[in-house]
């Protein structure tokens, strides 16, 4: 994969009339790659392709049912198999993890306060303190 700046340099070199072989040697790329970018004429990022997942038809059911069974992926997988799902439990587990994380409330930390003089803390050391006589 070429960066946008390299593609622009390749296109400019081809526009000046340099041969595909010479440009390929200069940029250490295959001639087919140089030819392809020359035909395109400018940088075009790759379009993301959506690949249909085995679990897609059951996503809504999974989002509704997961909280009812405590986000247990083995139970959900067993129930999905009864409905015709043919994937593994790992696929279900990967789909349940974001649902479980979204359902957990953020962890709150309770600050512990004490009045001045009530407690002392010493980290990584020894101290002798004489109080009184």
- 13, 24 Cβ separation under 8 angstroms: no
Q: What secondary structure does DSSP assign to 101-131, as a single string?
A: HHHSPPPP-PPP---TTS-----S-------
- Average pLDDT over the chain, rounded to an integer: 88
pLDDT tens by residue, 19-74: 999 999 999 999 999 999 899 988 888 888 877 788 999 999 999 999 999 999 99
50-to-29, 53, 56, 57 alpha-carbon distances in Å: 29, 9, 11, 15
Global model pTM greater than 0.95: no
- 59, 22 Cβ separation under 8 angstroms: no
């Amino acid at each position: 994969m070429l960066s946008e700046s390299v593609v622009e340099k390749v296109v400019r070199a081809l526009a000046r009339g340099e041969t595909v072989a010479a440009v390929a040697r200069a940029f250490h790329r295959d001639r087919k790659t140089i030819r392809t970018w020359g035909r395109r004429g400018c940088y075009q990022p790759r379009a993301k392709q959506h690949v249909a997942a085995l679990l897609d038809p059951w996503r809504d059911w999974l989002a509704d049912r997961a909280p009812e069974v405590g986000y247990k992926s083995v139970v959900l997988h067993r129930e999905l198999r009864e409905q015709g799902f043919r994937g593994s439990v790992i696929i279900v587990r990967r789909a349940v993890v974001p649902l479980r994380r979204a359902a957990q409330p953020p962890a709150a930390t309770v600050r512990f306060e004490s009045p001045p003089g009530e407690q002392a803390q010493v980290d990584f050391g020894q101290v002798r303190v004489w109080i009184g006589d």
